[in-house]
C-alpha cells in the first residue's frame, strides 16, 4: 500500500454539497481533497434540466456540475477517484481507505456520499431514465404539464409527491402494491380530497414501456387477482424508498437505525472532526439547494474545528 497522503480535510463525495464544502474550506486556506466513486457532480450529471436552483432560469445538470467543480477547485481543492471503504480514527487524525488501496489522513472529514433511490428493477426502468422515468417530482414535474402521470409507491413520499404533481399534471394515478397506503393519515387525507388523484391498490409495475422517444405506459400485475394489465401514461415517478450510502461509516457509531448520519445544526456528528451534509442525513428535502447550504455550513465549521486545534 502506498504512503498515506495528508490533508487538512477530506470530503467524501463530490456532489453539490461536497463541492461547496470544498470551496469554503479551501478559501480558508485549508488543504482539501474531494474523493468520489464517480465523476464530480453526482446526480447532477443524470439531470437534463434544472429549473429550481436560484440564479438560473434553467441549467443543464452537467453544466452546473462543471461550474461548481471550477468554483470548488479555484482555491486549491483537489479531486480524486475512489470508493471509500473505511474511515478509522487515529488519535485526532482520521484515516480514509479506498477500494483502490489508497489511504489518506486528515484532521477533519466531511461525509457527503448522499443517498440512492430504490429502483423497481423492472424492464424499461433504466432504458427510459430521463425520458419519462423520474425519482423527483420537484425536479422533473414541470416537464409534464397537462399530462397523465403514474406514481409508484404507497408511503409518505409517494403520496406527497403525487399531490405535488397534481399542480402540473392533468391526472395522477398512484399504484400501490398493497391493499392500503403506508403514508401518514394527514397526508392521505389531503390526497383523498384531491380530485386529480386516483389510487389503484394491490398493483405492481412489471415493466415500463415506451416508443423510441419516451414512456407511453406501464405493464401491471394485480397482486390479489393475479391479473395482468397495461396502463397508458406520459411519465412514471418512482417512490419506493431511498437508502443512505453509509456502509463505510458503520464502525464510527454515527448512524441512526436506518443508516442515516446523525448531525446537529452545524453538521457535526458525534465524532469530533467528522461532519456530514446533504442527502446522507435524514432531511425533509433532498435538493441541490439544501445540499449546497449544508456544504457551506460544514466548510466553515471545518475551518473553526481545525483552528481550535492549533
Out of 36, 90, 101, 140, the active site residue is 140
Give catalytic status of residue 228 as yes or no: no
Give the Cα separation of 203 and 176 in Å (integer): 6
> How many other β-carbons are positioned within 10 Å of the β-carbon of residue 297?
20
Among 8, 99, 101, 136, the active-site one is 136
Q: What are the φ/ψ torsions at residue 16 (nearest 5 degrees)?
A: -55, -40
Q: Which of 8, 36, 139, 294 is catalytic?
A: 139
Please, are residues 187 and 159 in contact by the beta-carbon 8 Å criterion? yes
Q: Decide if 8 is catalytic.
A: no
How far is the C-alpha of 6 from the C-alpha of 135, rounded, in Å? 38
Q: Which residues of 158-170 are buried (b: 16+ CB within 10 A; e: fewer)?
A: bbbbbbbbbebbe
What whole-number distance in Å separates Cα of residue 99 and Cα of residue 12?
A: 13
Element (H, E) at 207: strand 203-210
Compute CA 167 distance to the chain's CA centroid, rounded to the nearest angstrom. 23
211 counts as catalytic: no
Question: What amino acid positions are annotated as catalytic residues?
Answer: 136, 139-140
Amino acid at each position: 500500500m502506498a504512503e498515506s497522503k495528508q490533508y487538512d480535510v477530506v470530503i467524501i463525495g463530490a456532489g453539490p454539497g461536497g463541492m461547496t464544502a470544498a470551496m469554503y474550506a479551501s478559501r480558508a486556506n485549508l488543504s482539501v481533497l474531494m474523493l468520489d466513486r464517480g465523476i464530480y457532480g453526482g446526480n447532477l450529471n443524470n439531470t437534463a434540466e434544472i429549473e429550481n436552483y436560484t440564479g438560473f432560469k434553467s441549467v443543464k445538470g452537467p453544466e452546473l456540475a462543471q461550474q461548481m467543480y471550477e468554483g470548488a477547485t479555484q482555491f486549491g481543492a483537489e479531486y480524486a477517484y475512489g470508493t471509500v471503504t473505511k474511515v478509522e480514527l487515529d488519535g485526532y487524525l482520521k484515516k480514509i481507505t479506498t477500494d483502490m488501496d489508497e489511504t489518506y489522513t486528515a484532521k477533519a472529514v466531511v461525509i457527503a456520499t448522499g443517498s440512492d433511490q430504490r429502483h423497481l428493477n423492472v424492464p424499461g426502468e433504466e432504458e427510459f431514465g430521463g425520458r419519462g422515468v423520474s425519482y423527483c417530482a420537484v425536479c422533473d414535474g414541470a416537464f409534464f404539464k397537462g399530462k397523465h402521470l403514474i406514481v409508484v409507491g404507497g408511503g409518505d413520499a409517494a403520496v406527497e409527491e403525487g399531490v405535488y404533481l397534481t399542480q402540473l399534471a392533468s391526472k395522477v394515478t398512484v399504484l400501490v402494491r398493497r391493499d392500503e397506503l403506508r403514508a401518514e393519515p394527514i397526508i392521505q387525507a389531503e390526497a383523498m380530497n384531491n380530485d386529480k388523484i386516483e389510487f389503484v391498490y394491490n398493483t405492481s409495475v412489471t415493466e415500463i414501456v415506451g416508443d423510441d422517444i419516451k414512456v407511453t405506459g406501464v405493464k401491471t400485475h394485480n397482486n390479489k387477482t393475479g391479473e395482468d394489465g397495461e396502463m397508458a401514461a406520459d411519465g412514471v415517478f418512482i417512490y419506493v424508498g431511498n437508502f443512505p450510502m453509509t456502509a463505510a461509516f458503520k464502525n464510527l457509531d454515527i448512524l441512526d437505525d436506518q443508516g442515516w448520519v446523525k448531525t446537529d445544526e452545524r453538521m457535526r456528528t458525534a465524532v469530533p472532526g467528522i461532519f456530514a451534509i446533504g442527502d446522507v442525513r435524514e432531511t425533509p428535502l433532498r435538493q441541490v439547494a439544501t445540499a449546497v447550504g449544508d456544504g457551506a455550513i460544514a466548510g466553515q465549521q471545518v475551518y473553526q474545528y481545525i483552528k481550535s486545534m492549533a
